[in-house]
Chains A and B, each alone.
Chain A
Amino acid sequence: MSNTILKVKDLRTHFFTDKGVVKAVDGVSFDIQAGKTLCVVGESGCGKSVTSMSVMGLVSKPGKIIEGSSIKYMDNELTTMSDSEYRSVRGNEISMIFQEPMTSLNPVFKIGFQISEVLMLHKEMTKEEAHQKSIDLLDMVGLSRADELVNEYPHQLSGGMRQRVMIAMALACEPKVLVADEPTTALDVTIQAQILELMNDLKSKTNTAIMMITHDLGVVAEMADYVVVMYAGRVVEEADVVTLYENPQHPYTVGLINSIPKLDDEREVLESIEGSVPNPLYLPEGCAFEPRCKSAIPKCKTQRPGLVELETGHKVSCFVIQEGQS
């Protein structure tokens, strides 16, 4: 699609620890379209956070993005950029909001200052211009008394308000991509609803693409245009949101969707996926999900399935499905 602004191809991020190599992200590819929301969903240890950190260039020792990985932003290769080049991209073209609103704002600086800092750095505004723009931004994210808030400190705000401030900071420079790492996980349900609504609102106003990391399949259904499901550092399924929920193909996706309790279902016993996520130091040779998969065939143990397109936009990484098709 010609609207692709961020293209990740074959991303590999490995951590070289004393205990061995942890292949946190092991061959992940996806595209982000302008103005659309991509949700990367998976459970803990699947590598989704590391993926977002890799895109932002925030992976530090002992982690390393391996040769052969490509992250292209508007035709510029990010993995080969120097530190200073990357810094001009970060916060400016691609910005990020984090999970923990309690610790992601600097406690010793006023809110206004933290937002102005970004503006003065990337947009070269003067202090007065930045100050005024900060007030406008706080207004845009739905905070009342924006002109008073600019002079307050983070500890005076609640979790939901801090998250709004983070969003304001992230959108200050009108980035084309917003990376959101579990932005509402630490918030209460009613506050989460407010924030998700805000994000959707802003997305349509500013046409920013959103890459959202989450483990909550409910949030995915609300926010995503298309979804990437990760397991043990690899992509197992990729589809637009409606297709994913109506016609999930990969056994892991199916298991995941069936195991979440829903408000309107009458089941007594929940389905669950036997076993647990593999130790990232000892990933299986073949398909990472094989040890827990009910439909595994001998091939799955020894060979790693690749991502194959079943129908337009719907890709699955599973031998059983792929062989079932043919």
Chain B
Amino acid sequence: MLTVNETAVAVDVNKAQKESIEGPWQMAWKRFRKNKLAMLGGIILLVLVFGAVFAPVISPYELDDMDYSQINKAPSASHWLGTDQLGRDYFTRMLHGSRVSLQVGVFAVLISVVLGSLVGGIAGYYGGWVDNLCMRIVEIVMSFPFLPLAITVSAVVGARLPAEYKMYITMMVIGFLSWTGLARMIRGQILSLREQEFMQAAKALGLSDKRIILKHLLPNTVAYIIVSATLGMAGAIMTESALSFLGLGVAPPTPTWGNMVQNARDFYILTNRPWLWVPPGIAIFLTVMSINLLGDGLRDALDPKTK
């Protein structure tokens, strides 16, 4: 029958069936691939980004090409999306508009991710009065009413700078006002991670604070930052569109989907020239939807709760 063992070696019974070594990132990628909707979102986004990056190359016309003989024409073979009141090709404007919208989205999110991670990270890790101070600052920023502030900053700063800089102002306004949600989330993440025993183990092993933050804390928060950033982009793009629609974001002649939708304010255009406001509206919808699908898919794939 059974004999006495001194130290039983952990025989890996299933070695034969073991798959190749899978790190957490490979596993996440596998999970992501299975999510058809997320993949769809990713592909749509890729197409949009491609269009934005290669806009100058792809567009059939120059951005400022005004052809007075072709004013307000409906979509045709030569102008796929028709022309606007100044004879400019609308398809070209759409492509260039995507550049601005996506750029603003990306950079605004970059600003808010950096700010949010920093503040949330410091608050979560150090706790005590540092945490208190950071969170009170977060609350103050959060309580600013967004639109009035955006309007004010835009108006005041925008008046002193040439129109081209409006894009950068919009980026900064959105970025500096929307980092608070991320800060709170990161702080929460870090607070819960700190209680995990492997963090205590790192401390018990005598590792330096720097090492603990870089090697143990951050890698476990990166997943959440990625998801937040992705979803934040959708918000930033929508905000930019709204601001530009109101005339407070990027101003013409620089095209952005937001200020192109502005055309719909005119009742005549609304009813008679749908090609002027429907395409940018659909474009905003597609972009935001694909980002959300992608972001959700990323969240499901990266969530470490699925062991």
Residues of A in contact with B (beta carbons under 8 Å apart):
18, 251, 254-255, 258, 269, 271-276, 278-279, 282, 291-292, 294-295
Contact = CB atoms under 8 A, between A and B. Distances in A.
B69 interface: no
Given A18-B34, A282-B17, A275 B10 contact: yes
B1 A254 contact: yes
Contacts of A276: 10-11, 13
B207 interface: no
26 contacts: A18-B34, A251-B2, A254-B2, A255-B2, A269-B6, A271-B5, A272-B8, A273-B2, A273-B8, A274-B8, A274-B9, A275-B10, A275-B11, A276-B10, A276-B13, A278-B13, A278-B14, A279-B13, A279-B17, A282-B14, A282-B17, A291-B11, A291-B13, A292-B11, A294-B2, A295-B1
B2 A271 contact: yes
Interface in B1-57: 1-6, 8-11, 13-14, 17, 34
Given A251-B1, A271-B5, A276-B13, 14 more contacts: A251-B2, A254-B2, A271-B2, A271-B4, A272-B5, A272-B8, A273-B2, A274-B9, A275-B13, A276-B10, A279-B14, A291-B11, A292-B13, A295-B1
B8 to A, nearest CB: 5
Contacts of A251: 1-2
Contacts of B6: 269
B145 to A, nearest CB: 35
A282 B17 CA distance: 8
Interface residues of B, number: 14
Contacts of A282: 14, 17
Helix, strand, loop or mixed for chain B's interface? loop
A273 B14 CA distance: 16
B12 to A, nearest CB: 8
Q: Across chains A and B, which 7 residue pairs bring their CB atoms closest together, nearest first?
A: A275-B11, A274-B8, A279-B14, A272-B8, A282-B17, A291-B13, A294-B2
Helix, strand, loop or mixed for chain A's interface? loop
B30 to A, nearest CB: 10
Contacts of A274: 5, 8-9, 11
Nearest to A277: B13
A295 B1 CA distance: 6
B78 to A, nearest CB: 51
A254 B11 CA distance: 20
A18 B3 CA distance: 40
Contacts of B9: 274
A34 B4 CA distance: 41
A72 B282 CA distance: 60
Contacts of B34: 18
Nearest to A275: B11
A271 B2 CA distance: 8
Contacts of A272: 5, 8
Contacts of B1: 251, 254, 294-295
B54 to A, nearest CB: 38
Nearest to B9: A274
